[in-house]
């Protein structure tokens, strides 16, 4: 079998590139290690509920081109993410906003909230935050940091907050208005038929080989059944360090384990996302999937998320973009740059070792497509 493009991985990067390549008249094959398409955005319908099998994915973007692009392939609902955080027997709204501050301190006005934060960090004298802890303290003060950030972040990343990069916490908005919308983006929603249907449409017309490990394939260019695949161009969306046989050593990732169960109630926690921010609760959050689609099903499905260090054999979810890993990645990226001569390109969270959101992955895939198609 001969194709113009072989794409490794059927997540959003691979699927968007595939769509663009197909639309420009190229033939496309996709190799996917799992037995289904979609990468980590994969959703599976169970008891009429779209379960976000590899963690909650809420689409949000301010990029109109990206928004219009995804809307060509899926209808989106008007879900707005407004998680709550539970710390012991206290409950707070996220992201950090006037609802959070008013509950934390019994205050009412933005001026009072700002004064409270200023008072809590007066002695610290942080000029330029060097790490996540300093960044968080300087933004929201000690109480919010201790109750809503420290425990959650250390569970999530398995590292102390003063050893983590500041940008991670800047993902979250901080605002002095009563607004619980987790994102500041102009467009937001969840595909009404799930992400798998969206990816299916993107991949329509490609030959898809699931249950095929690229590294097994690479040994002699054959699939499990012995069929050969020839191709001109390779788009690789797996782990970049693995592609280069870990020759400079492995990059670090965080993984997540999900404990998913169906419960005989129609509404377990009253919200799609509830974060557990205290260090003594072993999971970071509980997702109640039906609420992403305003589901009215008689039962519910929940997933507890447990964060762990990645090791071979488990799924990588989050690159750890600290200095050490970013430097190592840069060495792999230099190798990747040289592969361009061979018509090999890297993309996605794993291929580019970046804590990308979905819209950024799509924008990257579209910009690569524009460049090379």
- The answer to whether residue 153 forms part of the interface with ligand UDP (CB under 6 A) is yes
The residue within the footprint of ligand UDP, chosen from 82, 275, 303, 369 (CB under 6 A), is 275
Minimum CB separation of residue 227 from ligand UDP in Å reads 38
Q: Say if strands 43-46 and 207-210 run parallel, antiparallel, or are unpaired.
A: unpaired
The residue within the footprint of ligand UDP, chosen from 130, 171, 324, 342 (CB under 6 A), is 171
The residue within the footprint of ligand UDP, chosen from 86, 168, 197, 301 (CB under 6 A), is 168
Question: Using the 8-state DSSP alphabet, how is residue 222 labeled?
Answer: B
- The answer to whether residue 358 forms part of the interface with ligand UDP (CB under 6 A) is no
Question: Residues touching ligand UDP: how many (CB under 6 A)?
Answer: 13
Structure tokens at 126: 């942080």
Closer of 156 and 321 to ligand UDP (Cβ): 156
- The answer to whether residue 190 forms part of the interface with ligand UDP (CB under 6 A) is no
Question: Using the 8-state DSSP alphabet, how is residue 104 labeled?
Answer: H
Question: Degrees (nearest 5) of the Cα angle 356, 275, 47?
Answer: 85
Binding mask 73-112 for ligand UDP (x = CB under 6 A): ------------x--------x------------------
- The answer to whether residue 156 forms part of the interface with ligand UDP (CB under 6 A) is yes
Q: What is the DSSP string of 310-324?
A: --TTS---EE--SHH
Please, how many CA atoms are within 13 Å of residue 146, restricted to the half-sphere of its CB?
8
Closer of 86 and 113 to ligand UDP (Cβ): 86
With left for phi above 0 and alpha for psi between -120 and 50, is residue 283 left, alpha or beta?
A: beta
User: Which H or E element spans position 64?
Assistant: helix 64-71
Closer of 236 and 353 to ligand UDP (Cβ): 353
The residue within the footprint of ligand UDP, chosen from 70, 148, 197, 362 (CB under 6 A), is 148
140 CB-contact burial (10 Å; exposed 0-12 / middle 13-18 / buried 19+): buried
- The answer to whether residue 172 forms part of the interface with ligand UDP (CB under 6 A) is yes
What sign has the CA pseudo-torsion 287, 291, 293, 295?
positive
- The answer to whether residue 149 forms part of the interface with ligand UDP (CB under 6 A) is yes
Which residues of this chain interact with ligand UDP, rule CB under 6 A?
85, 94, 148-149, 152-153, 156, 168-169, 171-172, 275, 277
């Amino acid at each position: 079998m001969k194709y113009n493009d072989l794409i490794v991985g059927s997540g959003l990067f691979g699927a968007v590139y595939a769509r663009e390549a197909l639309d420009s008249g190229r033939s496309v094959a996709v190799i996917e290690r799992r037995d289904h398409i979609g990468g980590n955005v994969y959703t599976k319908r169970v008891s009429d509920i779209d379960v976000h099998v590899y963690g909650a994915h809420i689409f949000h973007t301010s990029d109109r081109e990206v928004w219009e692009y995804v809307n060509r392939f899926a209808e989106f609902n008007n879900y707005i993410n407004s998680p709550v955080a539970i710390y012991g027997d206290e409950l707070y709204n996220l992201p950090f906003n006037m609802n959070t501050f008013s509950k934390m301190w019994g205050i009412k006005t933005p001026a009072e909230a700002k004064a409270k934060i200023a008072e809590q960090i007066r002695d610290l004298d942080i000029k330029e935050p060097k790490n996540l802890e300093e960044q968080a303290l300087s933004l929201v003060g000690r109480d919010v940091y201790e109750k809503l950030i420290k425990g959650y972040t250390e569970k999530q990343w398995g590292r102390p907050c003063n050893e983590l990069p500041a940008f991670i916490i800047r993902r979250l908005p901080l605002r002095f208005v009563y607004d619980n919308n987790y994102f500041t983006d102009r467009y937001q929603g969840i595909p009404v038929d799930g992400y798998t249907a969206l990816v299916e449409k993107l991949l329509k017309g490609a030959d898809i080989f699931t249950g095929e490990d690229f590294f097994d394939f690479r040994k002699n260019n054959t699939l499990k059944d012995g069929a050969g695949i020839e191709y001109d161009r390779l788009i690789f969306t797996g782990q970049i360090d693995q592609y280069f046989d870990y020759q400079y050593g492995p990059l670090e990732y965080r993984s997540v384990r999900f404990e998913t169960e169906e419960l005989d109630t129609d509404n377990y926690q009253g919200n799609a996302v509830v974060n557990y921010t205290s260090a003594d609760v072993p999971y970071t959050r509980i997702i109640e999937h039906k609420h992403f689609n305003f589901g009215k099903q008689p039962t519910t499905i929940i997933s507890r998320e447990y964060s762990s260090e990645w090791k071979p054999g488990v799924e990588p979810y989050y690159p750890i973009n600290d200095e050490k890993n970013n430097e190592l990645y840069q060495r792999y990226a230099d190798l990747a740059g040289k592969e361009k001569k061979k018509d090999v390109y890297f993309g996605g969270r794993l291929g580019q070792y970046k804590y990308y959101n979905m819209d950024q992955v799509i924008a990257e895939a579209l910009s690569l497509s524009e460049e090379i198609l």
